[in-house]
Amino acid sequence: MFNPEPSRPLSITAIAMITALIATGCAESTRDGAGGDSNESQPLVFAGAGDPRSVDPVLTNDGETFRVTRQIYDTLLTHEPGGTEIVGGLAESWEQSDDGTEWTFKLRDGVKFHDGEDLDAEAVCANFDRWYNFTGNYQNSNQTYYWQNTFGGFAENEDKDTPEPNFASCSAPGELTAVIKVKEPSANYPGAFSLASFGIMSPKVIEKVAEEKVTGDPGSPVLPAYTQEAGTVAGTGPYRLVDWDHDAQEVTLERFDDYWGEKAKVKTLIIKTISEEAARKQALEAGDIHGYDLVAPADMEPLKEAGFQVPVRDVFNILYLAYQQETSEELADKKVRQAIAHAVDRQRIVDTILPEGAKVATQFIPETVEGWSPDVTTYDFDPEKAKSLLKEAGHADLDIDMCFPTKVSRPYMPAPQDIFDIIKADLEAVGITVTANSMPWGDYIPYTDSGGCSLYLLGWTGDFNEAFNFLGTWFDGYDSGWGFRNEELFALMDEVSSTPGQEQRTKLYQEVNREIMDYLPGLPISHSPPAIAFAPNVDPPAVSPLTQENFSEASFS
Amino acid sequence: MLRFIVRRTLQLVPTLFGLSVLLFFWLRQLPGGPEYALLGEDATAEQRATLRRALGLDDPLIVQYWRFLTRLAEGDLGTSLQTGRPVLDEFALRFPATAELAIAAIVIAVGVGIPLGYLAARRRGGILDSAVVGGSLIGICTPVFFLAFVLKVIFAEHLGWFPSAFRQTPGFSATRVTGFFVLDGLMTREWDSAWDAITHLALPGLALSSIPLAVIVRMTRASVLEVLAEDYVRTAEAKGLHRHVVRTRHVLRNAMLPVTTAIGLQTGALFAGAVLTESVFAFGGIGSFVYAATQTRDYPALLGFILIIACMYVLINLLVDISYSLLDPRVRVS
Amino acid sequence: MPTKAERIDRLAELTAARAEEGRGHGVWREAFDRLRRNPMAMAGAATVLVFVVVAVVGPWLAPYSPVAQNWGDEVFPNQNVFVGPRAENWLGLDNLGRDQFSRMVVGARQTLLVGVVATLLGFSVGALLGGSAGAAHALGRQWGRRLDAVLMRFTDMMLAVPALLLAVSVAALLGPSLATVMIAVGVAQVPIFARLLRGAMIAQAGRDYVLAARALGVRTRRIALVHILPNSLGPVLVQGTLTLATAIIDAAALSYLGLGNPDPSIPEWGTMLADAQRFLAGAPQLAVYPALAIIVTALGFTLLGEAMRESLDPRVRT
């Protein structure tokens, strides 16, 4: 058929489409580089891995939320920039009574809230009294998780399973002197006063939200509106909340000009959400963001080569291989536990998988935590010894299951699958048959927690510098995730938790650590710093082992 | 026609009711529960127990289902446990992102697919034809998440033509009206905002369009070929009708019938593909939310979202059937 | 002496056979001939053949163990140090120092296994549902229509949930395992097979030979099983071939979502691809090999399936 120019209109459409697509891309770059001082004109965009949950920090327990609220609120105590030592925050100084039940805080003078109110002892007490007097759905353990963990229950507990309150009272003997009394001394203090959950809010806001409730029927608690938007909350932090765009998953913070400390360098700070690890990296490389948290170790070197900054945090966590002695009876035999410890090449995991700055762990707390013991029993990589220990125990052909989580990267455990693979290969090299079992993170915790796995990978990042915050998580009593009863250890833990003096505690912790590493309930694998990355044109804030970066220190260079 | 629509809509009710029952009881059989995801690694058994009780998860399932139904009667789908906001709000918040992405994908697929398929059919056996047939086969056979990654590496990282993530440049303080960023930009006459949103749609839209594009190209090609061979086309050409008229009135219109069905079916399937694309491009739509909800066992959110999606899926199919009957007078709906 | 009923059955079979002789057998033979002459079909068949052979003999082809971390001290993923192709490792090493070639070759078997089992599962459950619905619709009276309606409402419900979402929920329910992937991918295909078979059967039910058999009083169950079902299988077989491609791709997507094969040391292409995305910057080859393998294999099955469909459908003559 004679057909010289077929369907021109259609070809034109196609070409137009393609041109339009390309043109779209070219136009994109015109918006950047507004000129002038970029600290004033350009927002600093930082990406976390998840959405924040609430801008009232007492109602949450996750790091993604705290990254935002730490910029808005200050706490009574805080940690030194880039370190783990507890230093004054809103309190210039503090002291404890000898029995550890009375904590006196001397507050800074001239601190203003974002709504213009002044900080005084009454304001501090207004916060503590509010938390202590929570009723209704506020008492749910997922609404007030940290409060219940550190100060126990409430003035009037509404559920029999809510713990008894350990908080007694807060009083203001002087304008800038706040006294907080607790019923029993605990290893949780003074660390608890530094928790981001206990950010101090303006008393005026507290008045305003006094009637706000966690509403909803059973089964569907709805957080009050003020926790989901800008406009109501006000703290004393370097940034104030100006917008939370749920559509764009974007929190916008702006410099608070009356901040008591050094003012924020960048005027506008934006916190975004990118849940995919690889997508965060690509967004940084493409210039869509200026920094992100939880960098995959494999990405660190390529990022550095491309000129990005990957500052290394100090370690403040632990990754361990847990032994569940009830699920697998063989593990109740200490020789088998030791054999596994000798079989695993932990140094290789640190050398090839974990990010720069990682160390092999000798015990369940990192070296920076008071109470770390230099003389615990150690277990070197020695496959021959592992084999002979297994033979002695009569389990030369041990068959065991091991679990790891998929599709997740924890601060203490990047690439769980690779770590699993290495351990599996190591164990098989000494004659142990390993059955793999993996599941998504959401299923993993309940499964391992209820004793579903004989061996499993898990870890912990400390909330504050206190060994109990680590050891108490696992070893202060029988735990279905471990399945052992070592009364001697439990008694030691009990003693240390009620000892008020820091020095005595440190001694006791060292004894506990020796006891643990002798008993070997699990194998501590490594301490590894969760990596964070910034664009080449950013002066990053001091990176914190507790992942408490203070973004007011950051600026464009 | 009206009776047909009414009847089909009424048929929806038992389907959705059955689906809600199945889903409700099935979801509760999943191991674990929201208390684990909500409380983290360190919570005690007591804390979890209290939370379960507070959430009403210890009540008999029938009671819980009844509670769901009574709430549903008031138009309330419950509250997302992850975010503490009503499920409907949560859906309204995330739906525009996914819908925008799906529309972009369909626009690309239709806008590129139909002309390409038509051209390939007209020049059957030519280079273009082979390229189109081969390309569409490869498109169907490439895992979407891999394609998305490759597109991003090439066009966002290396060439820098398009942004690699988000729906809009961070800090772009645009006025939000509907939550559809492009539409919002057009409505408020913030042209740069609309444009910015379009550039952010380009790569994820392209990635998501790969399968519908391939399907539509192939459908169009096959369908045009079939119509071209029909007697009435030959008759029309023999009659000396203008080529343009033959093409549009006879060939295209008749060839579009099966293509319409394909478009409808693909639109539904896009919601699933969006799960993968959204997470690669940090697009923050329904897909990522549903995935997170399965992880945290956010029962109310999962149930609500799946029901709404199923509802829309069925409605889209109904629309396809209707448009089919409008396009083809031979199809009589009764 | 055969009974009266048996004589009628025989007659029905003869009638049906004669009805097919003209079209039936001829169609199949013609279809096969056309298939042989179609280069796309041959290319697809060749790809599938190579894939199946590799899958079967893979473990003997692999020079090393696919799980042994023989060169674990040469690869440092945390420092972006990888080992590419070299004399002893034709495709280089993976991120834990395992031989990539051995993993690819051994992985073919797992991949095929997932595809075939998932497809068979979707096919058999779908065939059961669709077959009974189709038979009931075609032959039953009032109760038959009702049974058909109930069964189809059920498949509609399954269809109303997008396939991948269905697969994700199944995988979440069962916990990750290779069997889960097969079931999840298979379940997602059930409603498609069911509808397809039902449609084909209803179409067949209207054919003359069925009407003739009914007129002669052949038992309905017999008509459904012996006459309608076999003649309706054509489109289902085609769908099965196409589904193999989808199954392999869907399995990769499940792995990407962390719901796939739980033991990463057993190589499987989908898992390998999903996992290697992490190293796309430093070692793109780790993702590219399994990606190419998946694409080519899926392409093979698709080509073959499409060609089969074309050759079976006399309207689309090439």
C-alpha distances in Å from residue A282, one per residue of A52, A373, A493, B48: 22, 42, 46, 38
In this prediction, residues C49-63 reach a mean pLDDT of: 90
Confidence of residue A9 (pLDDT cuts 50, 70, 90): very low
Q: Do C162 and B30 touch (CB under 8 A)?
A: no
Distance from CA of B8 to the nearest CA of C (A): 12
- Cα angle: A226, vertex A228, A230; to 5 degrees: 70
Contacts of A240 (CB under 8 A, 6+ apart): A72, A114, A234, A253, A254, A255, A256
Contacts of A379 (CB under 8 A, 6+ apart): A338, A341, A342, A520, A523
Confidence of residue C5 (pLDDT cuts 50, 70, 90): very low
Which pLDDT score is estimated for A318? 95
Q: Do B291 and C257 touch (CB under 8 A)?
A: yes
What's the CA gap between A44 and B170, in Å, rounded?
9
What's the CA gap between A48 and C285, in Å, rounded?
29
Its sign, for the CA torsion A82, A88, A90, A92, is: negative
| Closest chain B residue to A462, measured at CA | B42
Element at A178 (helix H, strand E): strand A177-182
Which pLDDT score is estimated for A218? 57
> What's the whole-number average pLDDT of chain C?
78
**Beta bridge partner(s), residue A413:** A410
- Cα angle: B44, vertex B45, B47; to 5 degrees: 65
Single out the residue of B221, B228, A8 nearest to residue B236, CA to CA. B228
Distance from CA of C218 to the nearest CA of B (A): 33
Phi, psi dihedrals of residue A50, rounded to the nearest 5° = -150, 165
**Beta bridge partner(s), residue A434:** A400
Which pLDDT score is estimated for B165? 82
Q: Between B290 and A16, whose confidence is greater?
A: B290
Which pLDDT score is estimated for A18? 46
Burial (0-12, 13-18, 19+ Cβ within 10 Å), A503: exposed
Q: Over the stretch C182-198, which tens digit does the pLDDT of each residue have?
A: 888 888 888 888 877 88
Q: Do B143 and C273 touch (CB under 8 A)?
A: yes
Confidence of residue C149 (pLDDT cuts 50, 70, 90): confident
> What's the whole-number average pLDDT of chain A?
88
Residues of B in contact with C299 (CB under 8 A): 137-138, 141
Paired tokens of A365? 């707390």
Confidence of residue B334 (pLDDT cuts 50, 70, 90): very low
HEC assignment per residue over chain C: CCCHHHHHHHHHHHHHHHHHHHHHHHHHHHHHHHHHHCHHHHHHHHHHHHHHHHHHHHHHHCCCCCCCCCCCCCCEHHHCECCCCCCCCCCCECCCCCEHHHHHHHHHHHHHHHHHHHHHHHHHHHHHHHHHHHHHHHHCCHHHHHHHHHHHHHHHHHHHCCHHHHHHHHHHHHCCCHHHHHHHHHHHHHHHHHHHHHHHHHHHHCCHHHHHHHHCCCCHHHHHHHHHHHHHHHHHHHHHHHHHHHHHHHHHHHHHCCCCCCCCCCCCHHHHHHHHHHHCCCCHHHHHHHHHHHHHHHHHHHHHHHHHHHHHCCCCCC
User: 3-class SS at A88?
Assistant: strand
Nearest to C302 among B14, B137, B313 (CB): B137
Single out the residue of A328, A478, A480, A483 nearest to residue A393, CA to CA. A328
Which pLDDT score is estimated for C8? 41
Instruction: For chain A, say whether C95 makes contact (Cβ under 8 Å).
Output: yes
Distance from CA of C252 to the nearest CA of B (A): 7
Contact A302, C280 (CB under 8 A): no
Instruction: For chain B, say whether A307 makes contact (Cβ under 8 Å).
Output: no
C-alpha distances in Å from residue B88, one per residue of A29, A355, A511, B210: 37, 42, 54, 30
Which pLDDT score is estimated for A27? 40
Most confident of A143-147, A346-350, B18-22, B148-152: A346-350
What's the CA gap between C144 and C133, in Å, rounded?
8
Single out the residue of A167, A120, A134, A143 nearest to residue A56, CA to CA. A143
A 185-214 residues with CB below 8 A of B? 214
Single out the residue of C253, C254, C261, C207 nearest to residue C232, CA to CA. C207
Paired tokens of B326? 């409008």
Count of A-C CB contacts under 8 Å: 90
Nearest to A296 among C75, C264, C278 (CB): C278
Mutation for testing the B interface, residue in A61, A220, A226 having most B CBs under 10 Å: A220
> What's the whole-number average pLDDT of chain B?
80
Q: Is the pLDDT of residue A58 over 80?
A: yes
Q: Is the pLDDT of residue B318 over 80?
A: no
Beta A250-255 vs A455-461: how paired, if at all? unpaired
Q: Is the pLDDT of residue A316 over 60?
A: yes
Q: Between B295 and A325, whose confidence is greater?
A: A325
Tell me B240's DSSP state.
T
In this prediction, residues A526-543 reach a mean pLDDT of: 93
What's the CA gap between A259 and A253, in Å, rounded?
14
What's the CA gap between A338 and A132, in Å, rounded?
46
Paired tokens of A518? 């002798």
Q: Over the stretch C208-248, which tens digit does the pLDDT of each residue have?
A: 777 788 788 777 777 777 777 777 777 777 778 888 888 88
pTM for the predicted model, two decimal places: 0.79
Mutation for testing the B interface, residue in A15, A44, A135, A142 having most B CBs under 10 Å: A142
Its sign, for the CA torsion C183, C185, C186, C191, is: positive
Burial (0-12, 13-18, 19+ Cβ within 10 Å), C42: middle
For chain B, the distance separating the N- and C-terminal CA atoms, rounded to the nearest angstrom, is 7
Contacts of A20 (CB under 8 A, 6+ apart): none
Contact A331, A324 (CB under 8 A): yes
Paired tokens of A548? 């408490």
Q: Is the pLDDT of residue A51 over 90?
A: no
**Beta bridge partner(s), residue A532:** A293
Query: Which of A512-521, B153-162, C91-100 is predicted with the least confidence, judged by mean pLDDT?
Result: B153-162
Single out the residue of C155, C160, C168 nearest to residue B311, CA to CA. C160
Q: Is the pLDDT of residue C51 over 80?
A: yes
| Closest chain B residue to A148, measured at CA | B47
Provide the 10 A C-beta neighbour count for residue A175: 12
What's the CA gap between A361 and A319, in Å, rounded?
8
Distance from CA of A382 to the nearest CA of B (A): 32
- For chain C, give the percent of residues with pLDDT over 90: 15
Instruction: For chain A, say whether C94 makes contact (Cβ under 8 Å).
Output: no
**Beta bridge partner(s), residue A181:** A102, A169
In this prediction, residues A96-122 reach a mean pLDDT of: 94
Q: Residue C253, by phi and psi: left (phi above 0), alpha (psi -120 to 50) or beta? A: alpha
- For chain B, give the percent of residues with pLDDT over 70: 91
Contact B281, B9 (CB under 8 A): no
Q: Over the stretch B176-193, which tens digit does the pLDDT of each residue have?
A: 778 888 888 888 888 888
Confidence of residue C7 (pLDDT cuts 50, 70, 90): very low
C-alpha distances in Å from residue A189, one per residue of A497, B193, B267: 10, 50, 57
Residues of A in contact with B295 (CB under 8 A): 440-442
Distance from CA of A466 to the nearest CA of B (A): 15
**Helix ranges, chain B (H):** 2-29, 34-39, 45-54, 61-73, 87-122, 127-141, 144-151, 181-187, 191-228, 231-239, 243-245, 253-281, 286-296, 299-327
Contact C104, C268 (CB under 8 A): no
What's the CA gap between A343 and A388, in Å, rounded?
11
DSSP class per residue in B39-83: H-TT--HHHHHHHHHHTTTTS-HHHHHHHHHHHHHTT---B-TTT
Contact B209, B109 (CB under 8 A): yes
Contact B303, B79 (CB under 8 A): no
Mutation for testing the A interface, residue in C278, C279, C280, C286 having most A CBs under 10 Å: C278
Nearest to C278 among A298, A301, A436 (CB): A298
In this prediction, residues A459-475 reach a mean pLDDT of: 90
Residue with tokens 């408490």: A548
Single out the residue of A47, A29, A42 nearest to residue A557, CA to CA. A42
Beta A555-556 vs A91-96: how paired, if at all? unpaired
Element at A27 (helix H, strand E): helix A8-28
Residues of A in contact with B96 (CB under 8 A): 247
For chain C, the distance separating the N- and C-terminal CA atoms, rounded to the nearest angstrom, is 52
Preceding peptide of A190 cis, ω within 30°: yes
Contacts of A373 (CB under 8 A, 6+ apart): A363, A509, A510, A511, A513, A514, A517
Instruction: For chain C, say whether A401 makes contact (Cβ under 8 Å).
Output: no
- For chain A, give the percent of residues with pLDDT over 90: 61
Which pLDDT score is estimated for B265? 67
User: 3-class SS at A250?
Assistant: strand
Q: Is the pLDDT of residue A173 over 60?
A: yes
| Closest chain A residue to C69, measured at CA | A425
Which pLDDT score is estimated for A381? 96
What's the CA gap between A108 and C125, in Å, rounded?
72
Q: Is the pLDDT of residue A23 over 70?
A: no
Which pLDDT score is estimated for A262? 92
Q: Over the stretch A113-171, which tens digit does the pLDDT of each residue have?
A: 999 999 999 999 999 999 999 998 888 877 888 899 899 899 999 888 788 999 999 99
Chains with at least 3 CB pairs less than 8 angstroms from chain B: A, C
Query: Which of B178-182, B313-317, B322-326 is predicted with the least confidence, judged by mean pLDDT?
Result: B322-326
Q: Do B32 and A446 touch (CB under 8 A)?
A: yes
Tell me B250's DSSP state.
I
C 25-44 residues with CB below 8 A of A? none
Instruction: For chain B, say whether C117 makes contact (Cβ under 8 Å).
Output: no
